[in-house]
Amino acid sequence: MIVTVGGIKGGSGKTTVATNLACIAAGQGADVLLVDADNQETAFDFTNARKSDNPGAPSYTCVKLTGASVRTEVLAMAKKYDHVVIDAGGRDTTSQRAALSVSNILLIPCKPRSFDLWAIENVAQLVDEARTINPGLKASVFLNQTDPAGQGSENQDTIEELKKFTGLTYLDAPLGSRKAFAHAASLGLSVLELPRQHYNPKAVAEIMALFQGSFKVTVTSRKRQAAGA
Ligand SMILES: Nc1ncnc2c1ncn2[C@@H]1O[C@H](COP(=O)(O)OP(=O)(O)OP(=O)(O)O)[C@@H](O)[C@H]1O
Ligand SMILES: [Mg+2]
């Protein structure tokens, strides 16, 4: 499974989601490759912090790739892993196009605000173009940083708008705006791995719903398969 977390909006939550998905899949015993295809290199820095500060945490391989090599290197490496998660960055770059050309699914975080909605229109076009060379590409948009109090109709209004985009599927697995996500990121952890005093079961339930909705498969590692489990 090759999952790209992308879109063309900065700060929508791509790296937060990509790193959580990689940590969760690794925690379930899968062999995971996390590709940082964003030249800000945040996913790479997160991984370095994870390795140095949490040596016992489930590990995955993280590489930095850019431009057309996102396609060629991912194609070459994917067979060695159960899952590849690509953080594509927030612009319409060669790297993101290359990522879409080899991915099974594009996950697009969208904040429940109109400016973010406008950007989705351009993402839908990018997906259309990617499908000319990768017809099987699925593209799912979900809400990130929703108001946990659930006040107002902002979320529902945004959902109605998102459902209008042909070619994109609305994934009903929103993430609330919760300190746990930002806190976990600063520690090199997923929200599942936060120490007890910072652990937030709501954040965990939300990211697990997104994980399951995205992968839609039971994560079975090569190691476990090889062991006949
Ligand atoms: N659900 C959430 N709850 C609270 N904070 C969040 C949530 N999602 C993201 N954030 C915070 O919002 C900021 C932007 O998130 P993130 O870096 O994941 O976005 P991005 O799309 O990767 O940004 P960029 O386009 O710069 O790469 C970070 O400080 C992150 O901790
Ligand atoms: Mg990022």
Q: What is the pLDDT of residue 169?
A: 96
**Atom of ligand 1 at shortest range from CA of 144:** 1
For residues 141-156, average pLDDT: 84
- For residue 8 and ligand 1, the question of a CB distance below 6 A is answered with no
Q: How far is the CA of 196 from the centre of ligand 2 (A)?
A: 26
Which of the pair, 102 or 155, is modelled with greater confidence? 102
Q: How confident is the model at residue 118 (pLDDT cuts 50, 70, 90)?
A: confident
Nearest residue (by CA) to ligand 1, atom 31, is: 182
* Ligand 1 atom having least distance to the Cα of 203: 1
Pocket test for ligand 1, best of 8, 15, 20, 143 (most atoms within 8 A of CB): 15
Confidence of residue 35 (pLDDT cuts 50, 70, 90): very high
Angle at 139 between CA 115 and CA 149, to 5 degrees: 50
pLDDT band at residue 151, thresholds of 50, 70 and 90? low
Token pair 């109090």 is found at 149
With a cut of 70, say whether residue 220 has pLDDT above it. no
Parse the chain into domains and list their residue ranges: 2-217
Query: What's the CA-to-centroid distance between 13 and ligand 2, angstroms?
Result: 7
pLDDT digits (tens, 9 = 90+) for 161-174: 999 999 999 999 99
Query: Is the CB of 182 inside a 6 Å radius of any atom of ligand 1?
Result: yes
14, pLDDT greater than 80: yes
Ligand 2: centre distance to CA 107 (Å): 13
Tell me which of 156 and 129 has the higher pLDDT: 129
Which pLDDT score is estimated for 219? 45
User: What CATH architecture does domain 2-217 belong to?
Assistant: 3-Layer(aba) Sandwich (3.40)
Reply yes or no on whether the pLDDT at 150 is more than 80. Answer: no
Least confident of 75-79, 114-118, 204-208: 114-118
* pLDDT of residue 225 exceeding 70: no
224 pLDDT more than 70 = no
For residue 144, the ligand closest to its alpha carbon is 1
Provide the CA 229 distance to its chain's centre, in angstroms: 28
Kindly indicate the confidence band of residue 92, based on its pLDDT and cuts at 50, 70 and 90. Answer: confident
For residue 5, pLDDT beyond 90: yes
Q: Is residue 196 predicted with pLDDT exceeding 90?
A: yes
Least confident of 85-89, 141-145, 213-217: 213-217
Write out the residues surrounding ion ligand 2, Cβ under 5 A. 14-15, 42
